[in-house]
Amino acid sequence: MPDVDIDLLERMYTTARTIRRFEERAVEQYRVGNIRGYLHLYLGEEAIAVGAIAGLEPDDYIVSTHRGHGHALAKGHEPGPMMAELFGRATGYCGGRGGSMHVASGALRNLGANGIVAAGVPIAVGAAMAVRQRGGREVVVDFCSDGSSANGVWHEALNMASIWDLPVVFVLENNQFAVSTPISASARVARLSERAAAYGMPGITVDGNDAVAVHEAMREPIRRARAGEGPTLVECMTYRHGGHHVNDPGLYLPPDELQRWKAHDPVDVLRARLLASGVPAGRIAEIDASVEATIEEAVRFAEASPQPSVEDFLAEVSAL
């Protein structure tokens, strides 16, 4: 087992737990009608965002996906304005104009979730180009999905990142399904990380349900990127805990497979690591309680927040 700093472990656990509880409460808020539209849940995949972002500096960028709550929370978005955005309220990160699929924050350097699968990949490469041109040392972490790797723009973007040695790390969240289509029906490679070879890029595959493993695996790619040595493809194996979005029961997921992955729950894995590192159960309970309070506060904040003003919106629009 890698030797991890206890503080870092606690922080990772707190973040994973925050994402988990944020989404569980979001589902509940969806059911009562406070949230509308698409809600793609990250339940079961939390370790990837947590592990991939743990080694970043605040100025580093991320590019997110349609399944982006975890990325945003791990990058430092506050649960209150996040929840408010899901509610479509004026206090949300996008003033209620974006919703779950479009959360972004310039200040936190999250270039945005995206409703178009794979579309964020060249955007990440572009951010890396901007960094290069101003002589910055920031790194861009691009979250992308198994489904996205079948899309043309993924190919184009990885190739460009490679030929120009741009400071980006592609974190491919392989949850093994695109909606109901298993990746085995969409690709004839055993590991999607093998595709990196087509761009002369290193590619590795890691247990995406173990935040520590992800964090460790990201060290060298982040170093490489920051040093100007080029991009890396890091495939993180994971699995959804349910359907494609809040309203999809996901009955097509083979029950035994689902069970196996649920038994390897990212939050549980981190809790076990904390216990194994000697952190007392009481401390973990404290963290859980504080996360609970934070999320409860977030839900209350969202509920209490005003709707965006229709008049302001109409005034903006005429200028477009």
Partner 1 sequence: MSRIKYRQALRDALREEMLRDERVFCIGEGIGERGGSYKVTDGLIGEFGPGRVIDTPLSEAGFVGLGVGAAIAGSRPVVELLFIDFLLLAMDQVVNQAAKYRFMSGGQGHVPLVIRTQGGAGNSLAAQHSQSLEAMFVQVPGLKVVMPSTPADAKGLLKAAIRDDDPVVFIEHKLLYMTEGDVPDEESVVPLGVADVKRPGDDVTLVAWSHMLTKCLTAAEELAAEGISVEVVDPRTLVPLDIATIVASVRRTGRLVVAQEAPRRGGVAGEIAAEVSERAWDALRGPVVRVAGRNTPIPFNLALEQASIPQIADIVATVRGVVGARTPVA
Ligand X SMILES: Cc1ncc(C[n+]2csc(CCOP(=O)(O)OP(=O)(O)O)c2C)c(N)n1
Tell me which residues touch its own copies (CB under 8 A).
Answer: 150-156, 159, 162-163, 185-189, 194-195, 197-201
Among 8, 10, 34, 156, binds partner 1 (CB under 8 A): 156
Among 43, 50, 53, 150, binds partner 1 (CB under 8 A): 150
Total number of residues binding partner 1 (CB under 8 A)? 73
- Our finding on whether 178 is near partner 1 (CB under 8 A) is yes
Closer by beta carbon to partner 1, 88 or else 221: 88
Please give the single-letter amino acid code of residue 139: V
Q: Which residue has the tokens 């477009």?
A: 320
CA distance 236 to 65: 15
Binder of residue 247, out of partner 1, Mg ion, ligand X, none (CB less than 5 to 8 A by kind): none
Interstrand relation of 181-182 and 177-178 (parallel, antiparallel or unpaired): antiparallel
Among 5, 137, 163, 259, binds partner 1 (CB under 8 A): 163
Binder of residue 148, out of Mg ion, its own copies, ligand X, none (CB less than 5 to 8 A by kind): ligand X
CA distance 81 to 76: 11
- Binding site residues, ligand X, CB under 6 A: 66-67, 115-117, 145-148, 175, 177-179, 244
How far, rounded to the nearest angstrom, does the alpha carbon of residue 70 sit from its chain's CA centroid? Answer: 4
The long-range contacts involving 127-136, CB below 8 angstroms and separated by at least 24 positions, are 127/61, 127/63, 127/168, 128/161, 128/166, 128/167, 128/168, 128/225, 128/231, 129/164, 129/166, 131/61, 131/167, 132/164, 132/166, 132/167, 132/228, 136/59
Binding mask 244-273 for partner 1 (x = CB under 8 A): --------x---------------------
